[in-house]
Amino acid sequence: MQAILQVHHLTKQFKNLTAVQDLSFSVYEGDVYGFLGQNGAGKSTTIRMLLTLIKPTEGRIEIFGEDLPTHRNSILRRVGAVIEKPDVYKYLSAFENLKLFARLSGVKLSDQALLEQLDKVGLANRAKDTVKTFSQGMKQRLGIAIALVHDPKLIILDEPTNGLDPQGIADIRNLILHLSRDLKKTLIVSSHLLNEIEQVATRVLIIDKGKKIIEGNAAELFDPAQTLVALQTLDNDLSFARLQESRWKNQLIKRDDSAILIKIDRLQIPELHKDLAALDIPLLSMQPRHSLEDYFLQVTSGNQHVDTYSN
């Protein structure tokens, strides 16, 4: 499968704050790539680097197989993005907004083609209405229509359901699935809402404090047969080192002061317990975590730094 985007060892430093640290990941053609992390984890900073709104301190970004800084203009002509709340003209109609932004993008579309764009996001019947009469969810869909006006190959949506009511969230979710399944677009969707990412993503990256925690296939990552086990030991550093030399090394998720996290099939728990004793690991407790919410909260910390460029 062809890689649409490749990020290599990306770091962004703001004075004494490291917002993104040594982050690497790949997005493949056809992905709905869920970019998941709690507020302040570094998602918005990363996305702004992908869109050249801010420069990385270190690292390299390739999009469509080309170096981003070198081929910036040609790359961004094939990328559409909505960052936070879309910036539209509330006293113009949806159609007038779309026509204006198409002109600013250098795209020449007929009125019929513009109406078809609005139809893709479910706004054809409100094309002539002023944006000031729109709900936040409708404004978000208009923002996505604007991002689609030049028929991009890659679409980046930063927290697209922020501030929406349940119906608005459902509308955006269905639109993301429509863009992926019917229009064959590749999408990166950032969110701090695990449940939303679970319902749309094909692949998922979880970050915390600007660092990659885990990346993988969504179906496998959220497999209910898999269990996250939190191990508390007398010496987590020593215990983690011993587990890295064991058959469990590829299932280790994270180590911090309070626990070691390992993701296994629940039927493997007795085997893990035996191996911990054989490895002479001073175990204090072993706590299985079954829910996805527990999993997300366990692999991300509760005290994120503030993402300099997020609300």
pLDDT of residue 292: 58
pLDDT of residue 136: 87
Give the integer Cα–Cα distance in Å for 187 and 79.
Answer: 10
Helix (H) or strand (E) holding 253: strand 252-255
pLDDT of residue 303: 43
Asked if residues 140 and 164 have their Cβ atoms less than 8 Å apart, the reply is yes
Q: What is the pLDDT of residues 117-159, one digit of tens each?
A: 899 888 999 999 999 999 888 999 999 999 999 999 999 999 9
Task: Compute the mean pLDDT over every residue in the chain, rounded to the nearest whole number.
Answer: 87
Helix (H, G, I), strand (E, B) or coil at 143: helix
Question: What is the Cβ-side half-sphere exposure of residue 270, based on CA atoms within 13 angstroms?
Answer: 1
Asked if residues 259 and 289 have their Cβ atoms less than 8 Å apart, the reply is no
Sort strands 66-67 and 58-63 into parallel, antiparallel or unpaired: antiparallel
Asked if residues 205 and 34 have their Cβ atoms less than 8 Å apart, the reply is yes
Query: Which domains are seen in the chain, by residue range?
Result: 3-219 (3.40.50.300), 225-289 (3.30.70.980)
Give the integer Cα–Cα distance in Å for 134 and 144.
Answer: 14
Q: What is the pLDDT of residues 78-115, one digit of tens each?
A: 999 998 777 889 999 999 999 999 988 888 889 999 99
Asked if residues 168 and 137 have their Cβ atoms less than 8 Å apart, the reply is yes
pLDDT of residue 310: 40
pLDDT of residue 298: 66
pLDDT of residue 125: 92
Asked if residues 26 and 6 have their Cβ atoms less than 8 Å apart, the reply is yes
Query: Could you tell me where the DSSP H helices lie in 105-253?
Result: 111-120, 136-148, 166-181, 194-200, 218-221, 236-244
pLDDT of residue 311: 35
Q: Say if residue 74's pLDDT is above 80.
A: yes
Q: What is the pLDDT of residues 217-265, one digit of tens each?
A: 887 777 766 777 889 899 988 999 999 999 999 888 777 667 888 888 8
Measured CA angle at 224 (ends 222, 225), to 5 deg: 120
Q: What is the pLDDT of residues 274-308, one digit of tens each?
A: 999 999 998 888 887 655 566 677 667 654 433 33
Sort strands 226-233 and 283-289 into parallel, antiparallel or unpaired: antiparallel
In the chain, % of residues over pLDDT 90: 50
